[in-house]
Amino acid sequence: MNSAKTLAKNTGFSLAADLFNRASNTLLFVLVSRFLGLEVAGVMTLAMTYTFIANPLSFWGLDQLLIREVARAPGSVRRFTVNFIWLRVVLSLISIGLLRLILQFIVPYPAETTRIIFLMALSIFSENISNICQAVFMAHERMECLASVGLLMGVTKLGEGQWP
């Protein structure tokens, strides 16, 4: 019965973290389109699309590997986390660099649109660090931390969206 309780708790917290993220993204998009107009919302959607395409290129499935390794050897979490963060920083730089080349030579947009896409792509760094932290929490079955971080990220995202 304890396994079922743990499964239900972990599933609930994981679902809450995902819902916080999705709700904040949706609310941010609604606020942008409402107050800044449909053209800006379209540029934001384009920037998010490029970021969502570039993000997995920097992930490389390392989160699953980290979960497995930390679950096997919990005492080595610090060593694995530091190494994976450095690897993710390098992969993020490569991913952002490739995106920059694509925007400059293959699919040129107006300068302002390119700047917004590139600024949004910088979130790849934070997404990678967040993903590594999530993997560590998952390896330790601390899903309540995921929900807390998801709520904090959602509130932060909405707060940053209010910035001029």
User: Which residue do the tokens 């997404």 mark?
Assistant: 127
Q: If we measure between CA atoms, which residue out of 105, 97, 141 comes closest to residue 121?
A: 97
104-150 confidence digits (pLDDT tens): 888 889 988 998 888 888 888 888 887 888 888 888 877 777 777 77
43 with 116: CB under 8 angstroms?
A: yes
Residue ranges of the chain with per-residue pLDDT less than 70: 1, 157-164
With both helix axes pointing from N to C terminus, report the angle between 62-72 and 77-101 in degrees, rounded to the nearest 10: 180
The full set of domain ranges for the chain reads 2-161
**Res 126: pLDDT:** 80
